[in-house]
């Protein structure tokens, strides 16, 4: 029985080696290094330790790796 053949999902990743240059391109590198970027969901400062993801939501927003924030992030997808 054939049901829907769902196509492949694209997953977009940024590697740590490219992260700072990517931030430079979107003009957020200085803010990140100065600790001025916060998690959209919990307000914690985003660091290289807790960074989980980033996305466009009326400006580039960041999410930390707390379980509750990852869950909130799911709703954005």
Partner 1 sequence: MEDTNTITIAWGTLKIILPWSGWLLFGLLGALFIYLYHYPEKFDAWLKKIDRFLLKFGRWREKQFILRDIRSRINIASKRINKEAEGLITKGVDVIWVNEKNIESFLRKGKVIIRMQHHENQDKNIVNAATHYVAKGVLHTSKIYLSEELQKALNLALIKKILCEEYDSGTSTDYFFVNVLRPALDANVKLGDIYDIVEKMERKGLFTRILLREIRLMGKKLYPSKPTNREFKETKEFFDFLEPFASHTTGNTIQDWEFVRDDIKVGILLVAQHGKLETEGYEPYIKRINEKINRGAQSIYLFGRKSSNIRAVKEIADQIRAENSKVFDYRVEKYFSFLRNEKLPAICIMLKIEK
Q: By CB under 8 A, is residue 51 in contact with partner 1? A: yes
Contacts of residue 48, defined as CB under 8 A and 6 or more positions apart, other chains included, come to: 16
Q: Which of 39, 47, 52, 69 binds partner 1 (CB under 8 A)?
A: 52
Under 8 Å between Cβ of 74 and 52? no
Q: Which of 18, 35, 36, 47 binds partner 1 (CB under 8 A)?
A: 18
Eight-class DSSP state of 57: S
Q: Report the chain's terminal Cα–Cα distance, integer Å.
A: 30
Q: By CB under 8 A, is residue 27 in contact with partner 1? A: no
Name the site residues for partner 1 (rule: CB under 8 A): 1-19, 21-22, 24-26, 51-56, 60, 65, 67, 70-71, 73-74, 76-77
């Amino acid at each position: 029985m054939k049901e829907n053949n769902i196509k492949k999902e694209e997953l977009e990743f940024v590697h740590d080696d490219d992260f700072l240059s990517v931030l430079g391109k979107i003009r957020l590198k200085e803010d990140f290094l100065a600790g001025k970027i916060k998690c959209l969901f919990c307000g914690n400062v985003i660091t290289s330790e807790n960074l989980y993801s980033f996305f466009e939501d009326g400006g580039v927003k960041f999410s930390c790796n707390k379980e509750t924030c990852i869950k909130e992030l799911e709703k954005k997808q």
